């Protein structure tokens, strides 16, 4: 049950994001971390998975914050990691997880969670407003998956020290 979890991970299509969070709102405790994985892909309005829709709030992450109860700590992460890889623990996940949020402690928890996945490096990607850019990259990764006939395209940020 959502109220017993330390971390809630929201991974729904963009069109379902508001209703999903509203349905969880009464179960979310103050201080609880909510991880938004949702990306505003055009599929929410009958379009292509290789394009995003404009979100008034700037990003799905920022949009999600509008529906959360006061005291919830929102982080955007895992937006650019293949669900195919995350669903198969026998496969090495060879990519970075970009983590955005305005609560430093919540980001640290999610960064540590990402780093616990073999092959993943959690990267602090700054404030929640940076999820605007990160979500756009997801549409590009979907396009690359289609172009190259794979389901596992991901990102590696180079030039960072391993302690990042």
The number of beta carbons lying within 10 Å of the beta carbon of residue 12 is: 15
Closest by CA to 141, choosing from 87, 76, 97, is 97
The DSSP result for 105-148, as a single string, is HHHHHHHHHHHTSTTEEEEE--SGGGHHHHHHHHHHHHHHHHHH
pLDDT exceeds cutoff 60 at 159: yes
**Paired tokens of 17:** 């994001």
Residue 69 has phi, psi (to 5 degrees) of: -70, 155
How buried is residue 93: exposed, middle or buried, by Cβ count under 10 Å (0-12/13-18/19+)? buried
What integer pLDDT is reported at residue 18 of this predicted model?
Answer: 94
Average confidence score pLDDT of the chain: 91
pLDDT band at 87 (very low <50, low <70, confident <90, very high): confident
What integer pLDDT is reported at residue 96 of this predicted model?
Answer: 96
Residue 34 DSSP SS3: strand
CATH number belonging to domain 2-148 = 3.40.50.720
Mean pLDDT of 66-72: 94
Domain-by-domain residue ranges, the chain? 2-148
User: pLDDT tens digit string along 90-113?
Assistant: 878 899 999 999 999 999 999 999
User: pLDDT tens digit string along 9-64?
Assistant: 999 999 999 999 999 999 999 999 999 999 998 888 888 888 888 888 999 999 99
The order of strands in the sheet holding 120-124 is 7-10, 33-36, 73-76, 95-101, 120-124
Mean pLDDT of 131-143: 94
Percent of the chain's residues with pLDDT above 70: 98
Residue 126 has phi, psi (to 5 degrees) of: 95, -155
pLDDT band at 162 (very low <50, low <70, confident <90, very high): low
What integer pLDDT is reported at residue 4 of this predicted model?
Answer: 82
């Amino acid at each position: 049950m959502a109220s017993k979890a330390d971390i809630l991970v929201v991974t729904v299509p963009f069109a379902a994001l508001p209703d999903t969070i509203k349905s969880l709102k009464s179960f979310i405790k103050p201080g609880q971390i909510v991880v938004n994985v949702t990306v505003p892909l055009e599929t929410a309005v009958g379009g292509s998975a290789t394009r995003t829709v404009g979100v008034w709030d700037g990003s799905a992450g920022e949009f999600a914050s509008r529906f959360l109860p006061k005291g919830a700590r929102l982080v955007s992460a895992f937006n650019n990691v293949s669900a195919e890889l995350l669903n198969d623990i026998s496969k090495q996940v060879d990519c970075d997880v970009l983590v955005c949020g305005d609560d430093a402690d919540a980001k640290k928890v999610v960064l540590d969670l990402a780093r616990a996945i073999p092959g993943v490096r959690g990267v602090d990607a700054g404030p929640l407003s940076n999820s605007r850019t990160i979500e756009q990259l997801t549409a590009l990764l979907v396009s690359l998956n289609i172009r190259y006939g794979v389901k596992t395209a991901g990102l590696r940020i180079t030039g960072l020290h391993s302690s990042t």
